[in-house]
Amino acid sequence: MTLQININNQYSFKDSIADVLDICYTNLKNGYTQETKQQCAIMINLCKNILKTVPSNYNDFIRNYTLVFGIMFRGIIDFCDICNITHKTKWNEDHKKIEKTWVLMCDCNDRIALSIDYYESSLLNWILCEMTTIKNEFNNAFGNSLYFSPEIINIKPKCNICQLDCRACIHLAGNIYDGKLCRFIPEDVSVVSTSIVFEPCDPVVEFGHGI
Ligand SMILES: [Zn+2]
């Protein structure tokens, strides 16, 4: 598929992305995960090129949405990888596949949930529903999960947008500024203890199922 994207026109840019998502949706519904992954990889490269070419502070809309689309296509690739593992029989008897699926699920959920805050799409809603189904299958098969939850003393959290102490800056973690996702970088960190909990901040740090 040849894609023409006019980044100087917001509506045309969003429409082009909607066309690609429609194709991905049809392919995924038919089980064509390889084709979807290839299409998403092309889109991720395109997004990287746009972010390289459109200068900072030149066009906030394009830079912010380009980042969201890049994250979104990465989340769709995660979803394809999950499908490829879980569609095979006995995948849930292989410890490595179970672990890999769990990490992919957490990444996919984060990426698609962030994208859907900025861009409505039936495909994204469908993926989130499918994720919930797979998560329920996990819980049915292995019981409730337990997670490691470290207690961290973060002496100096730095903002990755302005490089200042985040407690003194105007940026909000999880928001996008000029094509960059704001997150706080912990500095001078000390881990004082680790707990095992049912409801973690970060579900990737899973300790075990059905314990
Ligand atoms: Zn800041």
Among 13-22, 72-81, 88-97, 190-199, the range with the most confident prediction by mean pLDDT is 72-81
Q: Are 43 and 165 in contact (CB under 8 A)?
A: no
89 shares a domain with 40? yes
Phi, psi of 30 (to 5 degrees): -95, 5
State residue 171's pLDDT score.
93
Between CA 104 and CA 197 the distance in angstroms is: 21
pLDDT tens per residue, range 47-71: 999 999 888 877 788 889 999 999 9
Q: Which residues contact 140 (CB under 8 A, 6 or more apart)?
A: none
pLDDT band of residue 211 (cuts 50, 70, 90) is: very low
Ligand 1 centre and the CA of 171: distance in Å?
A: 4
Ligand 1 centre and the CA of 66: distance in Å?
A: 21
pLDDT band of residue 210 (cuts 50, 70, 90) is: very low
Ligand 1 centre and the CA of 46: distance in Å?
A: 28
87 shares a domain with 185? no
Ligand 1 centre and the CA of 156: distance in Å?
A: 13
Residues belonging to the chain: 211
124 shares a domain with 173? no
**Tokens representing 46?**
């395109």
The pLDDT of 126-135, averaged and rounded, is 91
69 shares a domain with 39? yes
Ligand 1 centre and the CA of 186: distance in Å?
A: 13
- Residues bordering ligand 1, an ion, CB closer than 5 Å: 159, 161-162, 169, 171
Residue 209 scores a pLDDT above 60:
no
Ligand 1 centre and the CA of 61: distance in Å?
A: 19
Residue 2 lies in a domain: no
Ligand 1 centre and the CA of 63: distance in Å?
A: 18
pLDDT tens per residue, range 168-196: 899 999 899 988 999 988 887 777 666 66
Tell me if the pTM is above 0.85. Answer: no
126 shares a domain with 54? yes
